[in-house]
Chain A
């Protein structure tokens, strides 16, 4: 029966590859039995008309597949979707603002030329391209977190009420902040490893645009070190998300990473220029270094400080 074959195949399209052939074969067998039995009972031919009736009762292929599916078939579930939507709502205007600033700067660099729409058309193209790339990275990061959290829950122990966070809990994590960090790490790693030429100053003019790459060849010396740092930071963020809160080991790891980042910045400040416009970038790197050192101190303080006693204990 052609209709049953088509139906079973369609159900299979919504299922994971590993179970597809098996479920399709079983459905074909079951539905054929069902149609033949119904034909005998009703005294009508077991044709496509009767098959259509049986299939209508059986349900739409999508519904049937959902009942067979071993786990939820979505990339980003209801728990993370609000954070994903917020992240996209932040990312798109920020990108648009960056592109707009670049266009305006480009116009100011060539004040003699008459105003033109060409830079804005180019800027719109840049914005759309960047938006698509960033949306892809962000979706991948959220999907990875969703999968990781689902697995962690599947393997987890029974829920323990004593694991509930305190009302003012310093170890509580911000899911949005952690996931946003993952996105930033993934985006930077992709940019600096595969598209280093995009790290540039773009100057749009009437008929064409000029691109001035910012990175010098010396940057590649630091890239393995920075990649290692990114990888460790990615793993740490994922581990913190899976645990759902900061623990002592993850806080120590965070402190270690901050010290590592400060050391990398120090190497960059002391070493050969990694960016063109060396004077300016070294000043910026120094500021980053100072910020990183302060952050490391804050993390160490949080690790070592004693929690204030509860009111009844003080009394």
Chain B
């Protein structure tokens, strides 16, 4: 089954992490992509910071364009990756090893992809 895994962070908690610690954890994410190469599909991307986001929203007469992410949520998406694994337990097992999860405010959402 294919799942999109969405990596999110909470910017207001990022400040609590020392730059050295963050640097060290980020380095390990490269290893993570290497270790899990077999189940990662070509689809995936790391996103520019949320300050670069633009949102187009439903409006009365015409769609409205505005600065910022689409919700007031405290968590922001930092990237996503499509994985191909047998079932949700396999997806959870891989996601649990995502190095950034040792930082507060980090979470990963797992969503199955629609198949016809």
Q: Does chain A bind chain B?
A: no
Which B residues form the contact surface with A (CB < 8 A)? none
